[in-house]
Amino acid sequence: MRLENKVAVVTGAAGGIGRAIIEKLVSEGARVIAVDISEAALQEVIAEHPQVVSPCIADVTNYQQVTAAIEQAVAVFGGFDVMINNAGIGLPKPLLDYEADDFDVVTEINQKGVFHGILAAGRKFRSQARGGAIINTSSVYGATASELTFSYNTSKAAVDMMTKCAALELAPLGVRVCAVAPGRVDTPLLRQYEALGLWDHIRREQMRETFTQPLEIAAVVAFLASDDANCVNGTTVYADDGFSSFKYPLLPSQDS
């Protein structure tokens, strides 16, 4: 098992991708601190993985609470090796309908939450005097303009740049920093588009016209967390089934 004896902290642990990440990490031998703001949702996660997953109710917009989650990893499991900054939200809304708070709430979680995770993890790795890995959840929208997602796109673009800058500064400590950019993943966050009548449209934006499953993203995260990915650093890995490589097809698919 690639992650045996490794201890990870995962934020946004109760969401679709977060839960899948925990499932995959545990299957690879890791022990995990599951961080989320929802106590009830966390209890469901813990029930699925007793003894190898410990819950931590925390708000990633609060640096002290993120630091406490890392300290919990050391206290409960005896170490800290991997930080996965996965917490994020979206707010599908036309730009000119925005209120100031609409931008702020997405930025606080998606951007500042990742910053807090990078900072807290980097400081802990420095004090431990050994390497580690930090993996941030980005998005194809970090490099692609789209309607209804102004604050989300800008926050994910920031995640990509924070990943590069942190990788450079933490490299002397033996720390790798990477990001994963999912495309269209079938999660509760994406299901917001179903109510807007866009579900079939966004499905066709993937090359094979099918949604990626959370466990497929989790598999990429687990690889990046492992020593097998030792040469992968400072980059955003696109796990998007070709979303970012082509324009929405003009012609109908063969099975239409």
Tell me which residue of 111, 155, 135 sits closest to 9, measured CA to CA: 135
Residue 255 has pLDDT above 80, yes or no: no
Sole residue written with tokens 């890392």: 70
18-72 pLDDT, tens per residue?
Answer: 999 999 999 999 999 999 999 999 999 999 999 999 999 999 999 999 999 999 9
Q: Choosing from 141, 152, 193, 238, which is the catalytic residue?
A: 152
Q: Which segments within the chain are labelled E, that is strand?
A: 7-11, 31-36, 53-57, 82-85, 132-137, 175-182, 236-239
User: Which tokens sit at 255?
Assistant: 């099975």
75-117 pLDDT, tens per residue?
Answer: 999 999 999 999 999 888 999 999 989 999 999 999 999 999 9
**Residue 77, CA distances (Å) to 20, 135, 154, 217 in order:** 21, 20, 36, 25
Domain ranges of the chain: 7-186+214-236
User: Which tokens sit at 229?
Assistant: 């990915």
Cα separation of 103 and 100, whole Å? Answer: 6
Confidence of residue 74 (pLDDT cuts 50, 70, 90): very high
Left, alpha or beta for 5 (phi > 0: left; psi -120 to 50: alpha)? left
Q: What's this model's pTM, rounded to 2 decimal places?
A: 0.93
CATH of domain 7-186+214-236: 3.40.50.720
98 assigned to active site:
no
Q: Which amino acid is at 58?
A: A
115-163 pLDDT, tens per residue?
Answer: 999 999 999 999 999 999 999 999 999 999 988 899 999 999 999 999 9
Residue 188 has pLDDT above 80, yes or no: no
